[in-house]
Each structure stands twice: as structure tokens, then as C-alpha cells.
Structure 1
Amino acid sequence: MAAAEAGGMGLTDLPGELLELILCSGVLSAADIGRVSCTCRRLRDVCQARGKVWRERFRLRWPSLLKYYSHTDNVNWLKEYKARHNAGLETRRIVASFSKRFFSEHVPCDGFSDLETLGCPGHFFEDELMSILNMEGRKCLTWKYYAKKILYFLRQQNILKNLKAYLERPGDQLSFLEGAVLIDQYCNPLSDICLTSIQAQVDDITDKVRKVLRTKNPRHPSLAPKAGEVLIVSDVEFQRQVLDAMNCVLYEQLKYKGNEMDYYNSLNSYIHQVLIRRTGIPISLSVLYLTIARQLGVRLEPVNFPSHFLLRWCQGKEGSTDIFDYIYIDAFGKGKQLTVKECEYLIGHHVTEEFYGVVTSKEVLQRMVGNLLNLGKRYGYNCVIYGWDPTCMMGQEWMRNMNVHSLPHGPHQPFYNVLVEDGSCIYAAQENLEYNLEPHEIPHPDVGRYFSEFTGTHYLANKELEIRYPEDLELSCATVQKIYSKVKE
């Protein structure tokens, strides 16, 4: 102020826009800006009146959160900054408490009850958890361990709400693609999977099909969809042209194919992985194929065929109940079109007419979940057990979604925490596990957290795991001796 009295210009004499530029330069910390605000009314107004200064501080510190705001939102950015800062402190307090409360046991479902009464937006909490997971190198491993568990829980709970809302909608409003994305999100809660992104990739494939279609038939009705209207192509010959163009793009240009070499890899069931790897199993490829066809005006329907998921394409009167009025499409087999008899050749035995009937979106989802739930035992996945409960300790919502009650022994059997060779962590029923008579190392990033050595037949628990399950060591040794001594003989 002395300079101003001597005839010079002081900080407060600068234009507001210039002061904002200085305060938004990134050189000053939030604490610095807070101190500047306290010096006089003029600087406080510059910092707070238009919100630009605190919005910039918010952006610099938490850039990933701006997607939750619209340019038209009237946001008090100072208040928002304080809320996010306090959410971070509360998040770290909760993560630290998990380490103290659950060091000697797995986190039970009710262990997450504190999270349900958070006084801040959920995305603030998730953002702080992600910042913990992204902390430098190998530091704060315990915090990262519990932050990951909490983030899994939060995201899966949110996805379950979305899935419940999806299932409550009328059948004609259910998108097969949206259902597949919801399952994908639930199984991969830490991955960046969203319906908008998946739909954009499918739209891109659809555009490629239109380009091929245009070269074959420039006047095809699928090339000029009317905005706001559902495209329906009723002429069978026009429909055939669409399917031919789809097969050309999917299987010849983009090289999509059924994954025969690694059929039971869980990645084949996740729609975002199908789009990345361009391979999958019959049901996931059928969802993609059906979605593209419908966007081009061709109605295909999913079929309840045993062992091999198919689509059907009506050649007769719409809604016909005669199975011979349909051609059956094998998306796993490069879009091959089959007759009823050829469908039986595909699986090697005769089936009754009921298996050629249409299945609903909900039934398709159930079949996808069933495939994933039973991968471990049915499909020879290799894993190592690192924890267990005498009965299923997950909540009723989880058990309903994972069809636990459909298992012969239901939830009333031991359930095991296992590290799977594909990098996933699964909570598996005892009846879905069996001993591997040709054991090998499990390439999972968390193996070293629980085990000190692989002996060639089994993993040796580290000291921490032995302390957690003190009575299991003797039984484990006896089991190894019993199972693998016979193998060596």
C-alpha cells in the first residue's frame, strides 16, 4: 500500500480480469489464494465473485472431476473446493480405519456400512480413492489395498442400482448392449467402461457397414434413417444385403472371430474386451451382431439354443411360431446362416422345438452371468486360494445377482477368495473348485502379497497369511501330501 500512497499503482488498482489471470496462473496454492482473499474486500471479490479463480484451483487439483459439471451450472466453486477437500480427509480417515479394524480378517459386507452415510458426493470419495491407488511406486501398500477394496464396493453398489433400474424397465425398452455393459462394469469395476464409449464403437462399425452397403445398393433404406424414428427394413432381400455387408465388415475387414483357441477365457464375455480383442464367445458376439443389425433396421432375435448361442432371422410372417420360417445365424461362426437341421449338426444332437424359441433380454443376461459364475470349475481356470469363509459372507443382493442359490449347496458351503490366472479375484463356492493335478504358477499381481514361494505343486503361505489362518497350515500340508503324492506315483 505504501507504493500506492507514493503515487504508484498497487495490486488492488489492477483491473479485475488481470488479477484473475494472476490468481489463476497456477503459481499460487489454495492456501495462498485464501490468504489473498483475507487481505481486503476488493481481492476477496476478485477471488470469489465470478468463481473463475476457485474453479481453476479445482481444475488444477482434481481435473477428472470437471466432467460432472456443465458449463451452464451455477456452481459456488469455493464451496465445492472445500467439499472436495473435506471429502479427501474423510476418505483417508476411513481407509486408515479399515487397516486397524480388518487386519486379521477379510472385510465383511457390513464393514462397508460407514460408506453409506457419507456426507459428500460419491464421485468425490471415488476420486480420492483413485488418488490413493495412484500414489507413487510401492509406497502406502496397505492404504492402496483397502482403497481398492472400498472402490470395488462403491462402484459395484452403484452398478447394482443401475442394473436393478434396467431390469425394472419394460422388456421392449431393454437394450441387449446396455445389459452386456452393466455385467461388464460389475465384473470390472476399476476399469473405465461406459455405455457411451461402447455405443460409439458400435456406431463406428455400423458406419463401416453402411459404406459397404452403399457400394452394393446406393438406394438401400438403411442408408437414410430418419432422425427420431426407429429404422425398420421389412423387405427380406434388403435385410439380406445388410447381413452380407455386416459379415464383410465384421469378419473380413475387422477380422472378428470366435475364440476357439481360448474359449473359456473370461475376457471373451466382456463386451469392452470383445471390441478391443475382436474375439469372443457365441453370446457376446451375438449381442454385438444383433445390436448392429437393429441399428441398420434388421430385427434379429436371440435363441435359447443349448451349448451354442444363436440368433434367428424371420423369413416368413412376422412373429411366426414355425421354427422352419427362420434362418439361424451363428455370430461365432462368422455370421454363417443355418437351417434347423444344420443347427442340430452344430451341436451334434437333436433338440426339441422349444430350444429354437426367443429369449428375453433378462434371460440373455442370466446366461451371461451363469457363464462367468461357472468358469472356474467347468472351464479349467487355474487359481490359488488365499482366504476362505465357512459360508457365503456376501450380501443377499450379491447372492441373487450371482445366482448362488441355484448352486446345489447354495450359500451354505465354504466360499474361497481366489487369485485367478487372468488377473481377476473371485469369491468362489467350494463346489466350483477342484484340485489341479498339473499345477503351475499363477501370474497374478497379488500372489506375492500372500505367498512366499511356489514349490512346483503348491504355494507356501507367507507369515502374514499363516497368522491369519493358523489352523490351516497342518491341513494344507496333509492335503498336498494326499493329492500330489499320488500324482508323483
Structure 2
Amino acid sequence: MATPHTGDRLLMTSALISERFAKQLTDLPAEILEHVLCFPVLNPRDICNVSCTCKRLRDVCHGRGKVWAHQYKLRFYRQNESYDWLNEFRTRQMVGHQIRGTVESISKRFFTEVVLGDSFAEIESLGAPEHFCEDELLGILNSDKRKNLTLKYYAKKILYFFRQQNILRSLKVFLERPPEQQSALEGAVLVDQYCNPLSDVSLQSISAQLEEISDKAKKHLRGINPAHPILYEQLHFKGNERDYYNPLNSYIHQVLLRRTGIPISLSVLYMTLARKLGVPLEPVNFPNHFLLRWCQNQRRSADIYDYLYIDAFGNGKQLAVKECEALIRHQASADYYSAISTGELLLRMVGNLLNIGMRGEGNEKSYQLLRDSLDLYLSINPDNVQYLLLQARLYFHLGIWPEKVLDILQHIQALDQSQHGAVGYLVQHTLEHIQHKRLHPQELEEKRQSAPEHQDVIFSIGLIMKHKRSGYNCVIYGWDPKCSMSQEWIDTMRVLQLSKGADQPFYNVLVEDGTCRYAAQGESIHLSIQHYY
């Protein structure tokens, strides 16, 4: 049996061993300590605790050192090499908490809205660098696939908005360059990026693919049409006659991927390749069928018959003037054969997307395409009265941004007094909409479980529930007999994978973390008060 003296000796021995071990640890070279502290299982809290133990370890964990650089690179997507890593980590953590709080508040306030309007101003007002915000949103999107689907839905919408704003700024810079410095390919990529902001589309990747095709073409030079045998005979590019009005035909990355497109998108690729091979082709805004032209003389000529015309949609066929007219089955004036600027080419490309959006079935995708193409068109040509009026009508129809609708209408009135009738009508109804929204901020629909349409509703308002799949606890404050959300929401939340899909009651629930969700009846179980507490 151990005596008190024995216990004291054991404590003293333990203290001596600990002291000796501590000395051995702190006596290690800084490089070894950094290597140990970069072990993957250690998190930022662990590093903070270690740095508080002694001056030696605090010096090893200094803000600009390898340890915090390692933590930073594990946590965030984008890195530079000149940061004070610790301060940068703190700033990003703070921004991350603010963004997550904002996304959660958006889900609480706007979860029933298909279009969120300008509710993202809160994140813009944080004053943090844009890539901080984008990385935090990506962090939400790339978290556990089965959890936080509601947050991911709104993070995706915010990321969509952010990237589009950045692309619009890039487009503005692009259009301010001198015409000779405006590349048709770069402009087409910006259009592609704006309409697909969540896709991995970059000028560098597109250029690399065309460079590879160009290298192949150099081995098969054939007269004045060097890109022809490579694009059409070997790579099997072709015009998409069967699905001509598919918007994918206008996106450069999709044209390269699917190897099919419409005249203008194929012409951009063809012209870019030809210029890489030393053949100066020019874009021609021919009606109903975009073309390219090449001057057979050394100098540029005003005579349309001095040019050879190329139909990129028709497998690179070389055409004379009469053959061009045969494409549209009527005679065309000389103006239609003249070369156009890159800005005019982009207007034609975006105009095609606009027409596709207007031909749509009035669903979410067609509305989104119409909004995106209108934004692009008016960024290039901001004083086009026809499209300004269309944008105002679209926003009014969707019930979003009434204040912006009034600004657009005021701009139209200043540009064209003859639009007074259409403008006055929209102004009157927009003001009525704003007034109604102020007087009736939210009109609640009265529902009774006894009603025949609600006979499948099992749970009542006020019941405490648990979500089977996500595991959160919540309380019911409303219901719908069937899922009333948009198709985009249904797809994002994988509703169709449920046993009854969207054809079952859905409940508005307040979750314990303060967010609001929309849960299917088949995914919820009732918790008794005793069970919950």
C-alpha cells in the first residue's frame, strides 16, 4: 500500500518527467516544431492553445509562419503568398460567420420567393473583399452533400448574383478598350460566363483548346481555308440544324464540348483559329445567317465582290455574293456584306439569346435566360428603348425590384417621349404595387385542416418535429397540401427522390438554429414534449 510519502514522490517524478519532456519539445528546431504543428488532425483552436503554452511555441506559431499558412490553406480556396496568415485567417473567419448569418436570414425571410430581388445588398455591405465572400459561399456549397440543402440553395443564388456582377464589370472594362484590342473570342467568353456563372468557364481554358486545334491545323494547311479540314473533317464540328434554338449553341464552352453550334458561335471559333494561322477573316452581320469574309486583294476593298465569304455553319463552305443571297432567298444590299465591330458581334450573339428567351415556355429557365440576356444587351447598348421597356415589363411581371422598374421607366421617358403611353401605364401600376406592399406587407392565407384539400395533412401547427434525413428539431408554423416551391428548388432539394416526391403535404418549420425550412411530411416525425425535453 502506497504511503503519503510515496504519493509525493510519484507526483514529483511525474512533474520532473513533464518538465524534461517540455524542455525536449521546445528545444527542437523550429522547422521540426512547424512540421509537427502542421499535422492534419490539428485545427485552428488547437494551434491557438499551443501558442498560449509558452513563448517558444508562440514564436513558432507566429502569424506569418508556416503553421498558420497551413491552417489557412486547409480552410480557404484562394491563397496568396504574402499574407499575415493569422490576421487573414481571423478576418476570413469573421466574414464567414457574417455571411452564414446572412444566408440563414435570407432563408428565413425569402424561402418562398423564386426571385430574391435585391436582398443580397447585406453581403455587399460587409465591405469584405469579393473573393472572401465567394470562398465562404463555396464552402457552404461544398459541405456535406446530405446536409444544409436550404442554405446551399440560397448560397448558390447569392454566388450566382456575385459572379454576374463581377462579369458585368469585366465586360465594361472590355468594351472601354480600343476596337482593335477587343477580341471576339474574349467577348463571347464573357457572354458565356454571364449566362453560366456557376460553370467553370475561363478564357484561358477556351484559348488552350483552340491553341491545340491550331497546332493540328498547321500540319494540314490547305489554301485560304486552313481551319476547314480540322474543324469539320477531323473534329466533326457542324451546325446544329435539329436543335437550332437551344441556348447551348451560343455558349462557346458548350460549342467546343458538343462540337455543334449556330452560325455566329461557329464563326467566332473559325475566325479565331484562322487569325492564329495568319488569315485575317472579318465578321459579317448577314441577315439570318452570320458569315465571315476574306479579302482576295492585299488591301481592304469597298467592293463586296472582292471578298470571299465563308459559311462556318455550312462546314466552312466558301461563297460568292450570289451564293450568299441564296442562303436567305432574297437579294441583300451592299451594307449587309460589310464587316462589323466586336461590340456589334456581341449584340447579335446576345440578341439570339434574347429571342430564345422570348420563345420560351414562361418557365424559370426561360425567364432567367431572358433576364440575363437583357442585362447583357443593355450593358453593351444601354439606350435601346425597346429592350429597356422589355426589361421593365419583365421585372413588373415577376413582381421584383419595383423601384428599379421606376428608374428604367424614367430613363425611357428621357430617351423617347413617344413611349409616354406605355411608360405611364407601367408607372401607375408599379406605384400601386409599391403602395399595396407597404399597406399589406404580408397577407396570410387562412387554412383549415378540415378542408377537403387538406385531408392528407397529418401534423398541426405548433407540433415539435424531427427531420428524419437531416436530423434537426423544429416546430411547425404552416403547411401546403402539395409542394408549392419552384422546380429549381425541387431539383436542388432532391424532392423527387422522396417516396411520394412533391405530391405530399409540405410544412413550414422553424428550426432550432433560427432558420426556416420547408419539409416533406414523409421526412418528419412527431416528437412528444417528454421526448423533446
TM-score normalised to structure 2 length: 0.68
- Equivalent residue for 1:65? 78
State which drifts further: 157-166 or 108-117. Answer: 108-117
Q: CA deviation at 1:140?
A: 2.1
> Partner residue of 2:41?
27
2:142 paired residue number: 134
2-side partners of 1:383 and 1:450: how far apart? 22
- 1:206 corresponding residue in structure 2: 214
SS in 2 for 1:189: coil
Which of 338, 342, 356 pairs up with 2:323? Answer: 342
* Alpha carbons of structure 1 residues 49 and 3: separation in structure 2 relative to 1, 3 Å: farther
Matched, 1:413 2:382: no
Helix, strand or coil at the partner of 1:313? strand
- In the alignment, residue 129 of structure 1 is paired with which amino acid? L
The alignment partner of 2:220 has SS state of helix
1:384 aligns with 2:363: yes
State yes or no: 1:298 paired with 2:306.
Answer: no
2:378 to 368, 390, 400: 400
Which residue does 1:228 correspond to in 2? Answer: none
Tell whether the 8 Å contact from 2:51 to 2:57 is kept in structure 1 after alignment.
yes
1:266-345 alignment, distance < 5 Å: 266-345=247-326
Give the Cα separation in 1 of the matches to 2:89 and 2:495: 45
Amino acid at match of 1:248: P
Deviation of residue 295 (structure 1)? 1.3
Corresponding residue for residue 53 of structure 2: 39
| Matching of residue 112 in structure 1 with residue 120 in structure 2 | yes
Deviation at 1:414, TM superposition (A): 4.9
What fraction of aligned residue pairs are identical, expressed as a percent? Answer: 53
Quote the offset at 1:204 in angstroms: 1.0
Give the gaps of 5 or more residues in structure 1.
Answer: 214-239, 418-442, 454-458, 466-489
Aligned equivalents of 2:62 and 2:22: distance in 1?
26
Once the two structures are TM-superposed, the CA of residue 28 in structure 1 deviates from its matched residue by 1.1
CA distance in 2 between partners of 1:192 and 1:448 (Å): 21
Deviation per CA, 1:276-320: give whole Å up to 9, x if none.
111111000100111111111110000010000000000124220
Which residue identity lines up with residue 78 of structure 2 in the other structure?
L
Contact 2:350 2:377 in 1 (8 A): no
Aligned-residue RMSD, C-alpha: 3.4
Amino acid at match of 1:400: L
2:529 corresponding residue in structure 1: none
Equivalent-residue separation in structure 1 for 2:46 and 2:23 (angstroms): 22
Q: 1:263 to 1:359 in 2, by over 3 A?
A: same
1:144 aligns with 2:123: no
Amino acid at match of 2:204: T
Q: Which amino acid aligns with 1:269?
A: S
How far apart in 2 are the matches of 1:408 and 1:159?
A: 20
Query: For residues 247 and 386 of structure 1, what CA distance do their matches in structure 2 show?
Result: 35
Residue 13 (structure 1) aligned with residue 27 (structure 2): yes
Aligned residue type for 1:413: R
The structure, 1 or 2, with the larger RCO (C-alpha pairs under 8 Å, 6+ apart) is: 2
Report the more deviating stretch, 22-31 or 111-120: 111-120
Contact 1:108 1:393 in 2 (8 A): no
- Alignment counterpart, residue 52 of structure 1, candidates 40, 59, 66: 66
Deviation (angstroms), 1:450: 11
Deviation (angstroms), 1:22: 0.5
Contact 1:300 1:313 in 2 (8 A): yes
Label 1:334 to 1:49 Cα distance change in 2 as closer, same or farther (>3 A).
same
SS in 2 for 1:268: helix
2:223 maps to amino acid = Q
What is the aligned counterpart of 2:198 among 178, 183, 190?
A: 190
Q: Distance in 2 between matches of 1:4 and 1:269?
A: 69
Question: For the residues of structure 1 that align with 2:131 and 2:212, how far apart are their CA atoms?
Answer: 30
User: Secondary structure of the residue that 2:74 maps to in structure 1?
Assistant: helix
**Amino acid across the alignment from 1:351:** A
2:40 maps to amino acid: G
User: Paired residue for 2:102?
Assistant: 94
Aligned mates of 1:170, 1:346 — CA distance in 2: 33
1:251 aligns to 2:265 (yes or no): no
Give the 3-state SS of the residue equivalent to 2:286 in structure 1.
Answer: coil
Q: Supply the AA of the counterpart residue of 1:48.
A: H
Equivalences, count: 398
- The DSSP-based 3-state class of the residue aligned with 2:61 is helix
Is the CA contact 1:373–1:402 (under 8 Å) kept in the aligned structure 2? no
CA distance in structure 2 between the partners assigned to 1:387 and 1:450 by the alignment? 21
Q: 1:241 aligned to 193, 210, 223, which one?
A: 223
Unaligned runs of 5+ in 2: 1-14, 399-485, 497-501, 509-533
In 2, the alpha carbon distance for the partners of 1:386 and 1:328 equals: 36
C-alpha distance 18-362 of structure 1, shift in aligned 2 (>3 A): same
Select between 106-115 and 30-39 the one with higher mean Cα deviation: 106-115
Superposed displacement of residue 91, structure 1? 1.0
Q: Distance in 2 between matches of 1:366 and 1:460?
A: 43
* Offset at residue 452 of structure 1 (A): 9.7
Give the alignment partner of residue 162 of structure 1, picking from 151, 170, 173.
Answer: 170
Is 1:365 matched with 2:343?
no
Change (3 A) 1:371 1:402: farther
Provide the C-alpha distance between the structure 2 equivalents of 1:100 and 1:7, rounded to a whole number of angstroms.
53
Give me the whole-angstrom Cα distance separating, in 2, the residues matched to 1:198 and 1:300. Answer: 20
How much does 1:26 deviate? 1.1
Provide the rounded CA distance (Å) in 2 between the counterparts of 1:410 and 1:376.
12
